[in-house]
């Protein structure tokens, strides 16, 4: 059987759909299932059992001999949360316990890291283990992810196979519950429906025009394809970037959202709030050479195509994947 943590969340529920599409249904889903909005992500999906994250390790001690693989996507992902103890508990220490259990029981492991570990990009965006100690994340969320990456690469005892995946800016279906932490595509769509226009932060750097700040946006279906490839591959353990490898502007994203809705763009630029202005990233782009070097060759969705599908097949009808 497979274990999938964070299964009711955005990427986790899309991963569950991917596994189901591949004919895999002997899956134990792990999460905090107290949110009705998140639980909608699990409807019409196949799995064996729900296990609350608080009792998961006790469950694993009992059933570990039946477990083939653990995909650990569960985490606190709120970048506006500044209670470090929350991240220590849910991200760092929980992930350490997961790693140790996988070592003890010889279970392969994939876990979610984050591009938030790169901070302002002072060290670039290469997924080399050598720069992990030098990275300076901008918030406790990014610090918790980088702290775990640092801990992992220092471990002598490792699962038979493991991979940490640094997700960049993921967008796509099943993020309805994420509120302010949902993707810019989701928020743009909602603003267009509600107001007819989209607000974007203006640039506060001379070298960037308004709206031309750049991010690496990746469609969630590409993310789960890579995770599934890793499950099948089970070689070349390590930490990998998971972005599209192509930075695009916020203007590109918003214009693509308007186009997917068959509307003419209307954009209003507002000042970036002072409290985040000095920590605002103007560029992120994943170096994807490492993933390609181990045999992953499927092209990633072009931003316009991903947004067209997301809007047309999911947001318009509030459908889940």
Q: How confident is the model at residue 152 (pLDDT cuts 50, 70, 90)?
A: very high
Per-residue pLDDT tens digits for 268-301: 999 998 888 888 889 999 999 999 999 999 999 9
**Residue in 63, 75, 77, 54 with CA at minimum distance from that of residue 28:** 63
**Taking the model in full, what pTM does it have?**
0.96
Q: Which of 111, 125, 141, 171 is catalytic?
A: 141
Counting the structural domains of the chain, the total is 1
- The enclosing domain of 150 has a CATH number of 3.40.50.720
Q: What are phi and psi of 240, to 5 degrees?
A: -130, 145
Q: Are 82 and 119 in contact (CB under 8 A)?
A: no
Q: Can 178 be counted among the known catalytic residues?
A: yes
Domain membership of residue 87 as a residue range: 2-171+217-243+285-300
On whether residue 68 sits in a domain, the answer given is yes
On whether residue 89 sits in a domain, the answer given is yes
Q: In the structure encoding, which two tokens stand for residue 138, read together?
A: 């901008």
What is the distance between the alpha carbons of residues 194 and 196, in angstroms, rounded to a whole number? 6
Per-residue pLDDT tens digits for 17-51: 999 999 999 999 999 999 999 999 999 999 999 99
**Residue in 113, 153, 157, 119 with CA at minimum distance from that of residue 135:** 119
Per-residue pLDDT tens digits for 78-112: 777 677 887 878 889 999 999 999 999 999 999 99
Q: Write down the pLDDT at residue 89.
A: 83
Q: Write down the pLDDT at residue 77.
A: 74
Q: Can 125 be counted among the known catalytic residues?
A: no
Residue 75 clears pLDDT 90, i.e. is over it: no
Task: Give residue for tokens 């493991």.
Answer: 162
Per-residue pLDDT tens digits for 114-147: 999 999 999 999 999 999 999 999 988 999 999 9
On whether residue 57 sits in a domain, the answer given is yes
Q: Which of 25, 45, 178, 199 is catalytic?
A: 178
On whether residue 232 sits in a domain, the answer given is yes
Element (H, E) at 293: helix 289-293
On whether residue 194 sits in a domain, the answer given is no
On whether residue 210 sits in a domain, the answer given is no
Per-residue pLDDT tens digits for 225-240: 999 999 999 999 999 9
What is the distance between the alpha carbons of residues 24 and 27, in angstroms, rounded to a whole number? 7
| Angstrom distances, CA of residue 149 to CA of 99, 118, 121, 127, 293 | 11, 12, 17, 11, 21
What percentage of the chain reaches a pLDDT higher than 90? 90
| Angstrom distances, CA of residue 95 to CA of 71, 101, 261, 308 | 11, 10, 40, 35
On whether residue 226 sits in a domain, the answer given is yes
Q: Write down the pLDDT at residue 271.
A: 95
What is the distance between the alpha carbons of residues 168 and 315, in angstroms, rounded to a whole number? 21
Compute, in degrees rounded to 10, the torsion defined by CA atoms 149, 221, 245, 312: -140
Per-residue pLDDT tens digits for 181-206: 899 999 999 999 999 999 999 999 99
| Angstrom distances, CA of residue 223 to CA of 96, 209, 228, 269 | 23, 30, 9, 31
On whether residue 253 sits in a domain, the answer given is no
DSSP letter string, 74-117:
-----TT---HHHHIIIIIIHHHHHHHHHHHHT--EEEEEEGGG
């Amino acid at each position: 059987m497979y274990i999938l943590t964070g299964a009711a969340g955005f990427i986790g529920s899309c991963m569950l759909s991917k596994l189901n599409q591949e004919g895999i249904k002997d899956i134990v889903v792990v999460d905090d299932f107290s949110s009705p909005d998140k639980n909608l992500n699990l409807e019409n999906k196949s799995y064996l059992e729900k296990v609350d994250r608080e009792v998961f390790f006790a469950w694993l001690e009992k059933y570990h001999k039946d477990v083939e693989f653990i995909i650990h996507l569960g985490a606190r992902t709120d970048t506006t949360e500044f209670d470090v103890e929350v991240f220590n508990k849910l991200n760092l220490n929980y992930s350490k316990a997961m790693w140790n259990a996988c070592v003890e029981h010889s279970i392969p492991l994939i876990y979610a890291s984050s591009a938030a570990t790169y901070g302002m990009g002072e060290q670039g965006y290469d997924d080399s283990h050598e720069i992990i100690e030098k990275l300076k994340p901008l918030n406790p969320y990014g610090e918790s992810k980088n702290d775990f990456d640092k801990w992992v690469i220092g471990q002598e005892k490792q699962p038979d196979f493991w991979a940490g995946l640094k997700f960049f800016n993921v967008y796509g279906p099943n993020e309805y519950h994420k509120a302010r932490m949902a993707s810019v595509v989701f928020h743009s769509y909602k603003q267009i429906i509600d107001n007819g226009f989209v607000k974007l932060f203006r640039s506060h750097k001379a070298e960037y025009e308004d709206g031309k700040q750049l991010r690496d946006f990746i469609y969630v279906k590409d993310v789960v394809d890579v995770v599934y490839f890793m499950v099948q591959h089970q070689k070349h353990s390590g930490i990998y970037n998971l972005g599209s490898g192509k930075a695009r502007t916020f203007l590109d994203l918003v214009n693509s959202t308007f186009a997917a809705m068959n509307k003419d763009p209307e954009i209003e630029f507002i000042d970036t709030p002072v409290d985040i202005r000095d920590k605002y990233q103007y560029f992120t782009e994943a170096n994807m050479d490492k993933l390609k070097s181990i045999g992953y060759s499927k092209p990633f969705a072009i931003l316009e195509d991903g947004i067209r599908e997301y809007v047309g097949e999911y947001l318009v009808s509030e459908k889940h994947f």
